[in-house]
Structure formats: C-alpha cells, structure tokens
Amino acid sequence: MTESDTVLTELSDGVLTLTLNRPEKLNAFNEAMHLALRAGVQRAHDDGAVRAVLLTGAGRGFSAGQDLGDRDPRRGEPPPDLGRTLDTFYNPTLRLIRSLAKPVVCAVNGVAAGAGANIALACDIVLAARSARFIQSFSKIGLVPDAGGSWHLVRLLGEARAKALTLMAEPLTAEKAAEWGLIWQAVEDAQLPARARAIAVSLAAGPTASLGMTKHLVQAAQSNDFDSHLDQERDCQQFAGRSADYAEGVLAFLEKRPPAFSGK
C-alpha cells in the first residue's frame, strides 16, 4: 500500500472527501497515513475548488488512533519520544483542520479511539453512526489524552464528564455523545454516508468566506473576552459585507430565489 492509498481522496461538488483507509487495522495511524491525511487537509487549504471537507473511515471503524504495532516494546528499541511524534505527525494536522477557513464535516462510521476520536472532535460538524463508540483509550495503555482531546472534552462536556471519560476509558455511545453535545448528531448507520455528504455538499455551496470566518469566531469565543470578541465580529462582518456572496445573498432574498454563492 502506498502512502496515498492510506487516505482515499475524491473531489466532487466542491467537497474534498478524505477516507482513512487501513480498515484491517481499524484505520490506526501509521506514518504514511499521517502524511496522506496532512496532504489532504493541506490541499483543502490551497485548492480554491475545495469548499468543504468530509472526513470518514473505510470499513467498520473510523480510527483506532495510533498504530500500536509501530510502538511494539518487544523490538527492544529505546522508549519512543512521543512528544516528538505528536509534534511531527498529529499536531500539525490538528492545527490545519482547526485553522482551515472552510468547514470540515466528520462522519464517524464506527469506533473512534485514542487520537482517532480526538481527530474527529477537531472537526466542525461531527456526525456518528449509531453503532459508533468514542473511547479515550489512552489510560488503558499508560498514556495521557492527546490530539487535543483533553482540550475539546473539557470545553464541550465540562470537567466531570471529561475526567470520567479519560480516567476510565469508558466507551461513549454516539447517541450519548450527541445528547451531551460532544458531536452534532447520531444517525442510523445506513444513513450516515448520505447524511454527511448532504451536509458537506450544502456547506460547499455556501458563502465560503463567511463560513470560514464564522468557524473562526466560534473557536475564538472560547478564549476572547467580550470586548475583543465584539471587535473581531465587527472586523469579520466588515469583510463579509464586501464579499460577492453577501451581495448575492441579499439579491437572492429580494428576488425571492435561492442564492447561488460563488465562495467569493
């Protein structure tokens, strides 16, 4: 399997679909898959034809996190420097997903464990199949949550639930994840691909610049004080007000027709 086979890439209707593709390992991350996912998200940054991203997994899992076969202590090598692997592989991709000025939809098609769960949580709209489970499996193997997991869990769920999930590594059902506000929706397994795609296609046909700024405003609200946030909203709205998509949105409203946004 070449590096590019580990993440299948398809662009249609403005949606770049990235499918993690090591199903025999529940899409656990090896170096090739890390680099392929990074290249996919980087393409979403660089390519104007991409107006939304859809991330999902092949087979029965979304991702089981780090490939533990690559961390086998029986090899007799010195302990790995996991700080370095996070810096080199996970964190740049997570930063790219969060900073991407385009929406990222994640369709969690099955179990999402360890960093696999936390990559899903870094996406903007997360849907999960009812059969999917989110597992902060780190404590089971003597690690701490990474890939932004402890950051997202506390913000989305609060300290009590974040501690219970991470300390006990209990699987969280998709339904409970949605009820708790960890993800957007749990949907029937058979409906997941179509529902996630419909959302991604609809976002890709949206006013891309305003969606990108909206994403960043919501993210910045976590750390901004009220005054500086009002300033940031003003700046974004000033920019949005000069966009072709705003003119089209208003015109379409006045002409009582659906808008045809160009993403500009």
Q: Judged by CB under 6 A, which of 11, 35, 82, 154 binds ligand T3D?
A: 82
Q: Which of 47, 54, 49 is nearest to 124 (CA)?
A: 54
Which is nearer to ligand T3D, 24 or 46 (by Cβ)? 24
Question: Using DSSP, how many helices (H) and how many strands (E) does the chain show?
Answer: 11, 10
Examine residue 62 and tell whether it contacts ligand T3D (CB under 6 A): no
Which is nearer to ligand T3D, 26 or 200 (by Cβ)? 26
Size, binding site for ligand T3D by CB under 6 A: 23
Q: How far is the CB of 131 from ligand T3D (least distance, A)?
A: 11
Examine residue 121 and tell whether it contacts ligand T3D (CB under 6 A): no
Examine residue 65 and tell whether it contacts ligand T3D (CB under 6 A): yes
Q: Judged by CB under 6 A, which of 137, 208, 210, 214 binds ligand T3D?
A: 137
Q: What are phi and psi of 26, to 5 degrees?
A: 50, 40
Examine residue 152 and tell whether it contacts ligand T3D (CB under 6 A): no
**H helical segments located in the chain:** 31-46, 82-85, 91-99, 115-121, 149-157, 159-168, 174-180, 192-204, 208-221, 226-241, 244-254
Alpha carbons within 13 A on the beta-carbon side of 7: 24
Q: In the complex, which residue's CB is closest to ligand T3D?
A: 65
End-to-end C-alpha distance for the chain, whole angstroms:
38
Phi-psi region of 70 (alpha: psi -120 to 50; beta: other; left: phi over 0): alpha
The conformation of residue 111, written as its DSSP 8-state character, comes to: E
Q: Judged by CB under 6 A, which of 103, 114, 212, 259 binds ligand T3D?
A: 114
Footprint of ligand T3D (CB under 6 A): 25-26, 28, 64-69, 71, 82, 85-86, 111, 113-115, 135, 137-138, 141, 143, 146
